[in-house]
Structure 1
Amino acid sequence: MNAIITATELASELAGSATPVLLDVRWQLGGPSSRPDYEAAHLPGAVFVDLDTALAGTAGPAGRHPLPDVAVFGDAMRAAGVRADRPVVAYDGGLGWGAARAWWLLRWAGHPDVRVLDGGLSAWQAAGGEVTDTIPVPQPGDFRPAPGALPLLTAKDAAELARRGVLLDARAAARYRGDVEPIDRIGGHIPGAVSAPTTENVSPDGTTFRAAPELAERFASLGATADAEVGVYCGSGVSGAHQVLALAVAGVPAALYVGSWSEWSADPARPVARGPQPG
Protein backbone atom coordinates (compact mmCIF):
# COMPACT_ATOMS: atom_id res chain seq x y z
CA MET A 1 0.00 0.00 0.00
CA ASN A 2 1.27 3.46 -0.90
CA ALA A 3 1.94 5.71 2.09
CA ILE A 4 0.60 8.79 0.30
CA ILE A 5 -2.61 9.56 -1.55
CA THR A 6 -3.34 12.27 -4.14
CA ALA A 7 -6.23 14.71 -3.84
CA THR A 8 -7.95 13.07 -6.81
CA GLU A 9 -7.61 9.62 -5.28
CA LEU A 10 -8.93 10.86 -1.93
CA ALA A 11 -11.96 12.48 -3.58
CA SER A 12 -12.75 9.15 -5.23
CA GLU A 13 -12.47 7.26 -1.93
CA LEU A 14 -14.64 9.79 -0.10
CA ALA A 15 -17.33 9.24 -2.73
CA GLY A 16 -17.24 5.47 -2.13
CA SER A 17 -18.44 3.22 0.65
CA ALA A 18 -15.23 2.63 2.62
CA THR A 19 -14.50 6.26 3.40
CA PRO A 20 -11.34 7.04 5.38
CA VAL A 21 -11.17 8.92 8.66
CA LEU A 22 -9.70 12.38 7.99
CA LEU A 23 -7.25 13.98 10.42
CA ASP A 24 -6.31 17.65 10.07
CA VAL A 25 -2.82 17.99 11.56
CA ARG A 26 -1.90 21.54 10.60
CA TRP A 27 1.05 22.65 12.73
CA GLN A 28 3.95 25.09 12.71
CA LEU A 29 7.09 24.89 14.79
CA GLY A 30 7.01 27.44 17.60
CA GLY A 31 3.85 29.01 16.24
CA PRO A 32 0.33 29.36 17.64
CA SER A 33 -2.16 26.55 17.40
CA SER A 34 -3.56 25.99 13.93
CA ARG A 35 -6.99 25.20 15.35
CA PRO A 36 -8.41 28.59 14.21
CA ASP A 37 -7.28 27.82 10.66
CA TYR A 38 -9.00 24.44 10.90
CA GLU A 39 -12.20 26.01 12.20
CA ALA A 40 -12.22 28.46 9.29
CA ALA A 41 -11.82 25.84 6.55
CA HIS A 42 -11.11 22.11 6.46
CA LEU A 43 -11.99 19.00 4.51
CA PRO A 44 -15.59 17.92 5.22
CA GLY A 45 -15.62 15.49 8.14
CA ALA A 46 -11.98 16.10 9.11
CA VAL A 47 -11.15 16.24 12.82
CA PHE A 48 -8.42 18.54 14.12
CA VAL A 49 -5.53 16.83 15.92
CA ASP A 50 -3.12 18.99 17.90
CA LEU A 51 0.42 17.73 17.34
CA ASP A 52 1.86 19.22 20.51
CA THR A 53 -0.70 17.63 22.84
CA ALA A 54 -1.95 14.49 21.06
CA LEU A 55 1.10 13.43 19.04
CA ALA A 56 3.90 14.32 21.46
CA GLY A 57 4.69 14.19 25.14
CA THR A 58 5.94 17.04 27.31
CA ALA A 59 9.22 18.58 26.16
CA GLY A 60 12.20 17.73 28.34
CA PRO A 61 15.39 15.65 28.40
CA ALA A 62 13.85 13.22 25.89
CA GLY A 63 13.46 16.01 23.33
CA ARG A 64 11.03 18.72 22.26
CA HIS A 65 8.51 16.26 20.83
CA PRO A 66 9.04 12.93 22.60
CA LEU A 67 6.63 10.05 22.16
CA PRO A 68 3.22 10.79 23.66
CA ASP A 69 1.84 8.76 26.52
CA VAL A 70 0.28 5.78 24.74
CA ALA A 71 -3.00 6.13 26.66
CA VAL A 72 -3.26 9.84 25.82
CA PHE A 73 -2.52 9.12 22.16
CA GLY A 74 -5.08 6.32 22.07
CA ASP A 75 -7.74 8.51 23.65
CA ALA A 76 -7.08 11.27 21.11
CA MET A 77 -7.29 8.89 18.17
CA ARG A 78 -10.52 7.27 19.36
CA ALA A 79 -12.02 10.74 20.00
CA ALA A 80 -11.15 11.58 16.38
CA GLY A 81 -13.07 8.51 15.22
CA VAL A 82 -10.08 6.32 14.35
CA ARG A 83 -11.03 2.67 14.02
CA ALA A 84 -8.79 -0.34 13.57
CA ASP A 85 -10.75 -1.51 10.53
CA ARG A 86 -11.09 1.83 8.74
CA PRO A 87 -8.40 3.64 6.71
CA VAL A 88 -7.00 6.94 7.92
CA VAL A 89 -5.78 9.89 5.84
CA ALA A 90 -3.86 12.69 7.55
CA TYR A 91 -3.23 16.09 5.99
CA ASP A 92 -1.85 19.47 6.98
CA GLY A 93 -1.27 22.86 5.41
CA GLY A 94 0.95 21.46 2.69
CA LEU A 95 4.44 21.08 4.17
CA GLY A 96 3.59 17.54 5.24
CA TRP A 97 5.46 17.43 8.53
CA GLY A 98 2.46 17.36 10.87
CA ALA A 99 0.60 14.83 8.75
CA ALA A 100 3.71 12.65 8.56
CA ARG A 101 4.04 12.67 12.36
CA ALA A 102 0.44 11.40 12.63
CA TRP A 103 1.11 8.80 9.93
CA TRP A 104 4.24 7.54 11.68
CA LEU A 105 2.68 7.37 15.14
CA LEU A 106 -0.41 5.52 13.93
CA ARG A 107 1.70 3.06 11.95
CA TRP A 108 4.11 2.62 14.89
CA ALA A 109 1.09 2.01 17.12
CA GLY A 110 -0.17 -0.75 14.85
CA HIS A 111 -2.77 0.83 12.59
CA PRO A 112 -2.52 -1.03 9.26
CA ASP A 113 -3.91 1.56 6.83
CA VAL A 114 -2.69 5.15 7.14
CA ARG A 115 -1.77 7.57 4.35
CA VAL A 116 -0.81 11.21 3.99
CA LEU A 117 -2.58 13.52 1.55
CA ASP A 118 0.19 14.55 -0.82
CA GLY A 119 0.29 18.35 -0.93
CA GLY A 120 -2.16 18.71 1.94
CA LEU A 121 -5.01 21.19 2.04
CA SER A 122 -3.59 23.33 -0.77
CA ALA A 123 -3.49 20.34 -3.15
CA TRP A 124 -7.03 19.43 -2.18
CA GLN A 125 -8.30 22.91 -2.97
CA ALA A 126 -6.26 23.15 -6.16
CA ALA A 127 -8.00 19.98 -7.35
CA GLY A 128 -11.39 21.57 -6.71
CA GLY A 129 -12.00 19.85 -3.39
CA GLU A 130 -14.65 21.26 -1.09
CA VAL A 131 -13.84 22.79 2.29
CA THR A 132 -16.15 23.68 5.15
CA ASP A 133 -16.25 25.42 8.51
CA THR A 134 -18.66 22.87 9.97
CA ILE A 135 -17.06 21.11 12.94
CA PRO A 136 -17.89 17.38 12.85
CA VAL A 137 -18.84 15.29 15.85
CA PRO A 138 -17.34 11.89 14.98
CA GLN A 139 -18.51 8.59 16.34
CA PRO A 140 -15.89 7.41 18.86
CA GLY A 141 -13.40 4.99 17.35
CA ASP A 142 -12.10 1.71 18.69
CA PHE A 143 -8.38 1.93 17.85
CA ARG A 144 -6.14 0.60 20.63
CA PRO A 145 -2.43 1.38 20.18
CA ALA A 146 -0.08 -1.60 20.09
CA PRO A 147 3.35 0.08 19.86
CA GLY A 148 6.21 -1.50 17.98
CA ALA A 149 4.91 -1.97 14.44
CA LEU A 150 7.57 0.43 13.10
CA PRO A 151 11.20 0.48 14.30
CA LEU A 152 12.23 3.09 16.85
CA LEU A 153 15.73 4.27 17.77
CA THR A 154 17.07 5.44 21.11
CA ALA A 155 20.09 7.75 21.33
CA LYS A 156 22.34 4.71 21.80
CA ASP A 157 20.71 2.94 18.84
CA ALA A 158 21.23 6.00 16.63
CA ALA A 159 24.91 6.23 17.52
CA GLU A 160 25.45 2.55 16.75
CA LEU A 161 23.47 2.71 13.50
CA ALA A 162 25.58 5.66 12.32
CA ARG A 163 28.61 3.36 12.57
CA ARG A 164 27.22 0.18 11.02
CA GLY A 165 24.45 1.42 8.70
CA VAL A 166 23.02 4.66 7.33
CA LEU A 167 21.77 7.38 9.67
CA LEU A 168 20.17 10.29 7.79
CA ASP A 169 19.99 13.78 9.30
CA ALA A 170 16.81 15.40 7.94
CA ARG A 171 17.55 18.95 9.11
CA ALA A 172 18.77 21.83 6.97
CA ALA A 173 22.39 21.44 5.86
CA ALA A 174 23.49 24.54 7.81
CA ARG A 175 22.27 22.99 11.07
CA TYR A 176 23.92 19.69 10.19
CA ARG A 177 27.24 21.45 9.62
CA GLY A 178 26.84 23.43 12.83
CA ASP A 179 26.96 26.79 11.06
CA VAL A 180 23.76 27.83 12.83
CA GLU A 181 21.59 26.39 15.57
CA PRO A 182 18.46 28.44 16.19
CA ILE A 183 16.75 26.05 18.60
CA ASP A 184 18.95 23.54 20.39
CA ARG A 185 21.88 23.83 22.81
CA ILE A 186 24.60 23.28 20.24
CA GLY A 187 24.97 22.86 16.49
CA GLY A 188 26.39 19.94 14.54
CA HIS A 189 25.34 16.35 14.00
CA ILE A 190 25.60 12.83 15.36
CA PRO A 191 29.03 11.47 14.35
CA GLY A 192 28.64 9.29 11.26
CA ALA A 193 25.27 10.72 10.23
CA VAL A 194 24.74 11.76 6.61
CA SER A 195 23.15 15.10 5.70
CA ALA A 196 19.81 14.53 3.93
CA PRO A 197 17.54 17.61 4.23
CA THR A 198 13.85 16.77 4.16
CA THR A 199 13.27 19.72 1.83
CA GLU A 200 14.95 17.77 -0.98
CA ASN A 201 12.22 15.11 -0.88
CA VAL A 202 9.58 17.41 -2.32
CA SER A 203 8.84 19.18 -5.57
CA PRO A 204 10.28 22.64 -6.30
CA ASP A 205 7.16 24.32 -4.90
CA GLY A 206 7.82 22.56 -1.57
CA THR A 207 4.51 20.72 -1.31
CA THR A 208 4.09 17.37 -3.08
CA PHE A 209 6.61 14.53 -2.93
CA ARG A 210 8.97 13.86 -5.79
CA ALA A 211 8.15 10.72 -7.78
CA ALA A 212 9.07 7.42 -6.16
CA PRO A 213 11.90 6.63 -8.65
CA GLU A 214 13.43 10.06 -8.01
CA LEU A 215 13.26 9.54 -4.26
CA ALA A 216 14.78 6.07 -4.58
CA GLU A 217 17.64 7.50 -6.64
CA ARG A 218 18.20 10.30 -4.16
CA PHE A 219 18.33 7.97 -1.16
CA ALA A 220 20.49 5.42 -2.97
CA SER A 221 23.06 8.17 -3.56
CA LEU A 222 23.19 8.57 0.22
CA GLY A 223 23.58 4.83 0.80
CA ALA A 224 19.97 4.31 1.85
CA THR A 225 18.60 1.36 -0.11
CA ALA A 226 16.06 -1.36 0.61
CA ASP A 227 18.81 -3.79 1.66
CA ALA A 228 20.58 -1.32 3.98
CA GLU A 229 19.86 -0.62 7.64
CA VAL A 230 18.52 2.92 7.63
CA GLY A 231 17.62 5.35 10.39
CA VAL A 232 16.48 8.97 10.45
CA TYR A 233 16.61 11.86 12.88
CA CYS A 234 15.86 15.57 12.68
CA GLY A 235 15.41 18.31 15.26
CA SER A 236 12.65 16.75 17.32
CA GLY A 237 11.13 13.82 15.44
CA VAL A 238 8.65 15.72 13.25
CA SER A 239 10.42 16.42 9.95
CA GLY A 240 12.21 13.11 10.53
CA ALA A 241 8.83 11.37 10.29
CA HIS A 242 8.40 13.09 6.93
CA GLN A 243 11.75 11.63 5.86
CA VAL A 244 10.67 8.13 6.96
CA LEU A 245 7.51 8.66 4.90
CA ALA A 246 9.55 9.68 1.85
CA LEU A 247 11.72 6.60 2.31
CA ALA A 248 8.57 4.45 2.47
CA VAL A 249 7.40 5.96 -0.82
CA ALA A 250 10.81 5.02 -2.25
CA GLY A 251 10.49 1.46 -0.92
CA VAL A 252 13.12 1.83 1.81
CA PRO A 253 12.15 0.84 5.38
CA ALA A 254 13.65 3.13 8.03
CA ALA A 255 13.69 3.57 11.80
CA LEU A 256 13.03 6.94 13.47
CA TYR A 257 15.01 8.43 16.33
CA VAL A 258 12.15 10.40 17.88
CA GLY A 259 14.26 12.29 20.42
CA SER A 260 16.48 13.43 17.56
CA TRP A 261 18.92 16.34 17.89
CA SER A 262 16.89 18.00 20.65
CA GLU A 263 17.54 14.98 22.87
CA TRP A 264 21.05 14.19 21.61
CA SER A 265 22.41 17.72 22.02
CA ALA A 266 20.86 18.19 25.46
CA ASP A 267 23.48 15.86 26.99
CA PRO A 268 26.95 17.49 26.95
CA ALA A 269 28.53 14.04 27.27
CA ARG A 270 27.36 13.00 23.80
CA PRO A 271 29.82 13.61 20.96
CA VAL A 272 29.07 16.22 18.30
CA ALA A 273 30.52 16.34 14.78
CA ARG A 274 30.67 19.54 12.73
CA GLY A 275 31.25 20.34 9.10
CA PRO A 276 29.90 18.89 5.84
CA GLN A 277 31.23 15.36 6.34
CA PRO A 278 29.76 12.63 8.59
CA GLY A 279 32.82 12.89 10.86
Structure 2
Amino acid sequence: MDRRRRDEVLITATELAALLAAGDPVTILDVRWQLTEPDGRDAHERGHIPGAVYVSLEDELSDHSVEGRGRHPLPSGLAVEAAGRRWGIRNGVPVVVYDDWNRAGSARAWWVLSAAGVENVRILDGGLAAWTGALESGPVTPEPGDVAVPHEDLYAGALPTLTADTVMAADTLLDARAPERFLGHVEPIDPVAGHIPGACNAPSTGFLAGDGTFLEEKDLAQLFGDVDDVGAYCGSGVTASVVVAALATLGIDAALFPGSWSEWSSDPTRPVETG
Protein backbone atom coordinates (compact mmCIF):
# COMPACT_ATOMS: atom_id res chain seq x y z
CA MET A 1 0.00 0.00 0.00
CA ASP A 2 1.27 3.50 -0.83
CA ARG A 3 2.56 5.55 2.08
CA ARG A 4 0.29 8.41 2.98
CA ARG A 5 1.12 11.90 4.07
CA ARG A 6 -0.61 13.79 6.84
CA ASP A 7 -2.72 15.82 4.41
CA GLU A 8 -3.99 12.62 2.83
CA VAL A 9 -5.39 11.47 6.18
CA LEU A 10 -6.48 14.77 7.74
CA ILE A 11 -8.14 18.00 6.63
CA THR A 12 -8.23 21.21 8.67
CA ALA A 13 -11.41 23.15 9.37
CA THR A 14 -9.97 26.03 7.35
CA GLU A 15 -9.42 23.77 4.35
CA LEU A 16 -12.94 22.34 4.62
CA ALA A 17 -14.45 25.82 4.86
CA ALA A 18 -12.55 26.82 1.73
CA LEU A 19 -13.91 23.80 -0.15
CA LEU A 20 -17.46 24.67 0.82
CA ALA A 21 -17.01 28.37 0.03
CA ALA A 22 -15.67 27.50 -3.43
CA GLY A 23 -18.63 25.21 -4.10
CA ASP A 24 -16.32 22.25 -4.64
CA PRO A 25 -18.03 18.86 -4.33
CA VAL A 26 -17.46 17.14 -0.99
CA THR A 27 -19.42 14.66 1.10
CA ILE A 28 -19.38 15.42 4.83
CA LEU A 29 -20.26 12.71 7.34
CA ASP A 30 -21.09 13.41 10.99
CA VAL A 31 -20.06 10.34 13.01
CA ARG A 32 -20.77 11.42 16.55
CA TRP A 33 -20.36 8.54 18.99
CA GLN A 34 -19.24 8.15 22.58
CA LEU A 35 -19.06 5.16 24.89
CA THR A 36 -21.64 6.82 27.12
CA GLU A 37 -23.76 8.13 24.23
CA PRO A 38 -23.44 5.78 21.24
CA ASP A 39 -26.37 7.33 19.37
CA GLY A 40 -25.36 10.79 18.18
CA ARG A 41 -28.37 11.54 16.02
CA ASP A 42 -29.96 14.01 18.45
CA ALA A 43 -26.68 15.89 18.79
CA HIS A 44 -26.37 15.96 15.00
CA GLU A 45 -29.85 17.39 14.54
CA ARG A 46 -29.23 20.08 17.14
CA GLY A 47 -26.30 21.38 15.11
CA HIS A 48 -23.95 20.09 12.41
CA ILE A 49 -21.60 21.36 9.72
CA PRO A 50 -23.73 22.47 6.75
CA GLY A 51 -24.66 19.53 4.54
CA ALA A 52 -23.24 16.91 6.90
CA VAL A 53 -25.07 13.56 6.91
CA TYR A 54 -25.40 11.65 10.18
CA VAL A 55 -23.73 8.23 10.26
CA SER A 56 -24.47 5.72 13.01
CA LEU A 57 -21.33 3.96 14.17
CA GLU A 58 -23.40 1.32 15.92
CA ASP A 59 -25.79 0.56 13.05
CA GLU A 60 -23.89 1.47 9.87
CA LEU A 61 -20.18 1.11 10.69
CA SER A 62 -20.68 -2.17 12.57
CA ASP A 63 -22.55 -5.40 11.93
CA HIS A 64 -23.85 -6.83 15.18
CA SER A 65 -25.18 -9.94 13.45
CA VAL A 66 -21.58 -11.18 13.12
CA GLU A 67 -20.66 -13.50 15.97
CA GLY A 68 -17.27 -14.06 17.58
CA ARG A 69 -15.71 -10.82 16.28
CA GLY A 70 -16.07 -8.61 19.34
CA ARG A 71 -18.51 -5.85 20.27
CA HIS A 72 -18.22 -3.89 17.00
CA PRO A 73 -17.77 -6.39 14.15
CA LEU A 74 -16.96 -4.88 10.79
CA PRO A 75 -19.73 -4.51 8.23
CA SER A 76 -19.47 -6.15 4.82
CA GLY A 77 -18.31 -4.25 1.78
CA LEU A 78 -21.78 -4.51 0.29
CA ALA A 79 -23.27 -2.94 3.41
CA VAL A 80 -20.72 -0.13 3.27
CA GLU A 81 -21.53 0.47 -0.39
CA ALA A 82 -25.28 0.63 0.28
CA ALA A 83 -24.76 2.94 3.25
CA GLY A 84 -22.31 5.09 1.32
CA ARG A 85 -24.86 5.62 -1.41
CA ARG A 86 -27.47 6.60 1.20
CA TRP A 87 -24.96 9.12 2.57
CA GLY A 88 -24.45 10.57 -0.90
CA ILE A 89 -20.88 9.37 -1.48
CA ARG A 90 -19.99 9.63 -5.15
CA ASN A 91 -17.11 8.13 -7.05
CA GLY A 92 -14.29 10.65 -7.33
CA VAL A 93 -15.75 13.08 -4.77
CA PRO A 94 -13.75 13.57 -1.54
CA VAL A 95 -15.25 12.54 1.80
CA VAL A 96 -14.69 14.33 5.11
CA VAL A 97 -15.65 12.62 8.37
CA TYR A 98 -15.89 14.29 11.77
CA ASP A 99 -17.01 13.66 15.35
CA ASP A 100 -17.08 15.48 18.67
CA TRP A 101 -15.28 13.02 20.97
CA ASN A 102 -11.58 12.15 20.77
CA ARG A 103 -11.70 11.43 17.00
CA ALA A 104 -13.15 7.97 17.75
CA GLY A 105 -16.18 8.06 15.45
CA SER A 106 -14.39 9.79 12.58
CA ALA A 107 -11.37 7.47 12.76
CA ARG A 108 -13.68 4.45 12.69
CA ALA A 109 -15.45 5.86 9.61
CA TRP A 110 -12.11 6.69 7.97
CA TRP A 111 -10.87 3.16 8.61
CA VAL A 112 -14.05 1.36 7.47
CA LEU A 113 -14.42 3.40 4.29
CA SER A 114 -10.73 3.14 3.45
CA ALA A 115 -10.67 -0.61 4.11
CA ALA A 116 -13.66 -0.98 1.79
CA GLY A 117 -11.66 0.77 -0.93
CA VAL A 118 -13.29 4.22 -0.88
CA GLU A 119 -10.66 6.76 -1.88
CA ASN A 120 -9.94 10.28 -0.64
CA VAL A 121 -11.45 9.98 2.83
CA ARG A 122 -10.09 12.44 5.39
CA ILE A 123 -10.70 13.13 9.07
CA LEU A 124 -11.56 16.67 10.16
CA ASP A 125 -8.58 17.48 12.39
CA GLY A 126 -9.86 18.65 15.75
CA GLY A 127 -13.38 17.46 15.08
CA LEU A 128 -16.47 19.61 15.37
CA ALA A 129 -14.78 21.82 17.98
CA ALA A 130 -12.36 23.04 15.30
CA TRP A 131 -15.21 24.27 13.09
CA THR A 132 -15.77 28.01 13.52
CA GLY A 133 -18.38 28.47 10.79
CA ALA A 134 -22.14 28.37 11.05
CA LEU A 135 -24.00 25.20 11.97
CA GLU A 136 -27.23 23.83 10.53
CA SER A 137 -29.93 22.02 12.48
CA GLY A 138 -32.33 19.26 11.59
CA PRO A 139 -31.82 16.05 9.60
CA VAL A 140 -30.00 15.94 6.26
CA THR A 141 -31.15 13.69 3.41
CA PRO A 142 -28.70 13.89 0.51
CA GLU A 143 -29.11 12.92 -3.11
CA PRO A 144 -28.20 9.22 -3.43
CA GLY A 145 -24.58 8.56 -4.29
CA ASP A 146 -23.03 6.12 -6.74
CA VAL A 147 -19.94 4.95 -4.84
CA ALA A 148 -18.65 1.49 -5.77
CA VAL A 149 -16.85 -0.50 -3.08
CA PRO A 150 -14.26 -2.97 -4.40
CA HIS A 151 -13.65 -4.93 -1.18
CA GLU A 152 -16.40 -7.24 0.07
CA ASP A 153 -14.52 -8.48 3.16
CA LEU A 154 -13.11 -5.63 5.25
CA TYR A 155 -11.19 -8.09 7.39
CA ALA A 156 -9.07 -8.66 4.27
CA GLY A 157 -9.69 -5.31 2.61
CA ALA A 158 -7.51 -2.42 1.49
CA LEU A 159 -6.07 -1.81 4.99
CA PRO A 160 -4.04 -4.35 6.98
CA THR A 161 -5.75 -6.26 9.78
CA LEU A 162 -4.79 -8.74 12.47
CA THR A 163 -6.79 -11.65 13.82
CA ALA A 164 -6.83 -13.32 17.22
CA ASP A 165 -4.45 -15.89 15.74
CA THR A 166 -1.94 -13.38 14.37
CA VAL A 167 -2.12 -10.40 16.71
CA MET A 168 0.67 -11.58 19.04
CA ALA A 169 3.04 -11.93 16.10
CA ALA A 170 3.19 -8.17 15.53
CA ASP A 171 6.61 -6.74 16.37
CA THR A 172 4.96 -3.79 18.13
CA LEU A 173 1.44 -4.22 19.51
CA LEU A 174 -0.29 -1.11 20.85
CA ASP A 175 -3.24 -1.20 23.23
CA ALA A 176 -5.23 2.02 22.79
CA ARG A 177 -7.33 1.72 25.96
CA ALA A 178 -6.97 3.80 29.10
CA PRO A 179 -4.09 2.71 31.40
CA GLU A 180 -6.36 1.35 34.13
CA ARG A 181 -8.02 -1.04 31.69
CA PHE A 182 -4.71 -2.06 30.14
CA LEU A 183 -3.26 -2.78 33.59
CA GLY A 184 -6.31 -4.81 34.54
CA HIS A 185 -7.24 -2.60 37.48
CA VAL A 186 -10.77 -2.16 36.11
CA GLU A 187 -12.80 -3.63 33.27
CA PRO A 188 -16.23 -2.02 32.97
CA ILE A 189 -17.30 -3.66 29.72
CA ASP A 190 -15.57 -6.92 28.78
CA PRO A 191 -15.59 -10.22 30.72
CA VAL A 192 -11.88 -10.26 31.66
CA ALA A 193 -9.50 -7.51 32.79
CA GLY A 194 -5.96 -7.14 31.45
CA HIS A 195 -4.27 -7.01 28.07
CA ILE A 196 -2.88 -9.19 25.29
CA PRO A 197 0.57 -10.50 26.28
CA GLY A 198 3.39 -8.40 24.88
CA ALA A 199 1.25 -5.34 24.17
CA CYS A 200 2.32 -1.80 25.09
CA ASN A 201 -0.18 0.72 26.39
CA ALA A 202 -0.65 3.65 24.01
CA PRO A 203 -3.97 5.35 24.87
CA SER A 204 -5.60 6.82 21.79
CA THR A 205 -6.00 10.21 23.49
CA GLY A 206 -2.20 10.39 23.76
CA PHE A 207 -2.06 10.83 19.99
CA LEU A 208 -4.07 14.06 20.25
CA ALA A 209 -3.12 17.54 21.35
CA GLY A 210 -5.11 19.43 23.96
CA ASP A 211 -7.38 20.91 21.30
CA GLY A 212 -8.26 17.49 19.88
CA THR A 213 -6.08 17.77 16.79
CA PHE A 214 -3.64 15.00 15.97
CA LEU A 215 -0.12 15.53 17.24
CA GLU A 216 2.30 17.02 14.75
CA GLU A 217 4.57 14.68 12.82
CA LYS A 218 7.66 15.52 14.88
CA ASP A 219 5.84 14.76 18.14
CA LEU A 220 4.44 11.47 16.84
CA ALA A 221 7.86 10.54 15.51
CA GLN A 222 9.38 11.15 18.95
CA LEU A 223 6.86 8.76 20.45
CA PHE A 224 7.43 5.97 17.96
CA GLY A 225 10.70 6.49 16.15
CA ASP A 226 11.18 4.16 13.20
CA VAL A 227 8.71 1.42 14.08
CA ASP A 228 7.68 -1.29 11.67
CA ASP A 229 5.15 -4.13 11.73
CA VAL A 230 2.80 -2.34 14.12
CA GLY A 231 -0.55 -3.62 15.28
CA ALA A 232 -3.21 -1.77 17.28
CA TYR A 233 -6.24 -2.83 19.31
CA CYS A 234 -8.55 -1.34 21.93
CA GLY A 235 -11.79 -2.53 23.50
CA SER A 236 -13.70 -3.24 20.30
CA GLY A 237 -11.75 -1.78 17.38
CA VAL A 238 -13.04 1.80 17.54
CA THR A 239 -10.47 3.93 19.37
CA ALA A 240 -7.64 1.81 17.96
CA SER A 241 -8.61 3.35 14.61
CA VAL A 242 -7.37 6.67 16.03
CA VAL A 243 -3.96 5.08 16.57
CA VAL A 244 -3.94 3.65 13.05
CA ALA A 245 -4.88 7.04 11.60
CA ALA A 246 -2.21 8.85 13.63
CA LEU A 247 0.48 6.43 12.46
CA ALA A 248 -0.79 6.77 8.89
CA THR A 249 0.10 10.48 9.05
CA LEU A 250 3.71 9.29 9.46
CA GLY A 251 3.39 6.87 6.56
CA ILE A 252 3.21 3.87 8.92
CA ASP A 253 0.60 1.33 7.87
CA ALA A 254 -0.40 -0.10 11.25
CA ALA A 255 -2.67 -3.14 11.23
CA LEU A 256 -5.94 -3.05 13.16
CA PHE A 257 -7.19 -5.97 15.23
CA PRO A 258 -10.92 -5.26 14.65
CA GLY A 259 -12.24 -7.56 17.36
CA SER A 260 -9.73 -6.18 19.85
CA TRP A 261 -9.98 -6.98 23.57
CA SER A 262 -13.69 -7.79 23.36
CA GLU A 263 -12.93 -10.67 20.98
CA TRP A 264 -9.71 -11.75 22.69
CA SER A 265 -11.16 -11.86 26.20
CA SER A 266 -14.25 -13.78 25.11
CA ASP A 267 -12.18 -16.96 24.77
CA PRO A 268 -11.03 -18.23 28.19
CA THR A 269 -8.22 -20.25 26.59
CA ARG A 270 -6.35 -17.13 25.42
CA PRO A 271 -3.58 -15.81 27.67
CA VAL A 272 -4.03 -12.56 29.56
CA GLU A 273 -1.48 -10.26 31.19
CA THR A 274 -2.08 -7.68 33.90
CA GLY A 275 0.12 -4.98 35.36
Letter in 2 for 1:253: D
Q: Does 1:179 align with 2:193?
A: no
Aligned residues with identical type, % of pairs: 49
Q: Does 1:103 align with 2:110?
A: yes
Contact 2:95/2:120 (8 A) holds in 1: yes
Q: Does 1:215 align with 2:220?
A: yes
1:187 Cα deviation from its structure 2 partner: 1.0
User: Among 123, 137, 142, which residue is 2:141 paired with?
Assistant: 137
TM-score w.r.t. structure 2 length? 0.91
Give the corresponding residue for 1:119: 126
User: Among 121, 145, 167, which residue is 1:158 paired with?
Assistant: 167
Name the stretch that deviates more: 193-202 or 231-240: 193-202
Give the corresponding residue for 1:64: 71
Contact 2:161/2:256 (8 A) holds in 1: yes
Supply the distance in 1 between the matched residues of 2:91 and 2:172 (Cα, whole angstroms): 33
Aligned length: 263
- Secondary structure, counterpart of 1:152 in structure 2: coil
Contact 1:166/1:193 (8 A) holds in 2: yes
Post-superposition CA distance 1:7-38 (Å, at most 9, x none)? 11111112224332000000111425110111
Letter in 2 for 1:210: L
Contact 2:80/2:116 (8 A) holds in 1: no
Supply the distance in 2 between the matched residues of 1:24 and 1:204 (Cα, whole angstroms): 21
- Secondary structure, counterpart of 1:167 in structure 2: strand
Q: Which runs of 5+ in 1 are unaligned?
A: none
Supply the distance in 1 between the matched residues of 2:134 and 2:210 (Cα, whole angstroms): 25
1:194 Cα deviation from its structure 2 partner: 1.3
Give the corresponding residue for 1:273: 273
Post-superposition CA distance 1:170-222 (Å, at most 9, x none)? 111111111111111111111111111111111134x11111110121122xx
Q: Does 1:260 align with 2:252?
A: no
Contact 2:38/2:58 (8 A) holds in 1: no
- Secondary structure, counterpart of 1:64 in structure 2: coil
Contact 1:22/1:46 (8 A) holds in 2: yes
- Secondary structure, counterpart of 1:98 in structure 2: helix
| 4+ residue segments displaced more than 6 Å | none
- Secondary structure, counterpart of 2:105 in structure 1: helix
Letter in 1 for 2:215: R
Contact 1:213/1:250 (8 A) holds in 2: no
Name the stretch that deviates more: 130-139 or 237-246: 130-139
Give the corresponding residue for 1:246: 246
Supply the distance in 2 between the matched residues of 1:19 and 1:186 (Cα, whole angstroms): 47
Post-superposition CA distance 1:70-114 (Å, at most 9, x none)? 322221111001122110000011421000000001111111201
